[in-house]
Amino acid sequence: MIVEEQELKGVYLIQPRIFEDDRGYFMETFHHRKFREQTGLQIDFVQDNESKSDKGILRGLHFQNPPFAQAKLVRVIKGRIFDVAVDIRPDSSTFGQWIGVELTEENKWQLFIPHGFAHGFLALENNTIVNYKCDAFYSKEHEGAVRFDDPEIGIEWNFNNNDLIISQKDLDARSLASLLSK
């Protein structure tokens, strides 16, 4: 697998090796030792989540506060998404900056998002299935969200906002600035 750290420290794009033949394909979706060797990170995933979304559904930007902060390894099983990570670490030199990557069932790429980042994605096709591993269990009392359209972040979703389908919970999310005034 090819593991490349992105512009935001700690965010990695992972391109697995895919072995294809007339029967189909095989790939390792995660290998603990190889991941640790290539990133220097010791990650122990404890929960896998899966969602199905139609085109235009935007989920996020979600995070969990310590002690339940989550690192995530995101991949698409079916369809395609625009996957986004936003640095929400107040002491980071890249606070408020974001990175977006198109993950598809064809490219089979994965995005590793470390603690201290908000995460969200936009489904670009109907019946898109996303799977992600987390290194901490979900805790409703520790969850948080940042507005997907916060102008201070400026994510370029490249989709008409009037056509987005967003949960009320995500529409009620806070601004990035409000995280600092907490």
Active site residues: 62, 132
CB 133, CB 100: distance < 8 Å: no
Task: Give the total residue count for the chain.
Answer: 182
Residues 78 and 52: their CA atoms lie apart, in Å, by 9
Residue 44 Cα distances to 73, 114, 141, 144, 163, angstroms = 11, 12, 22, 22, 38
Residue 3 Cα distances to 18, 38, 115, 166, angstroms = 14, 7, 18, 32
C-alpha closest to that of 143 among 72, 86, 68, 49: 68
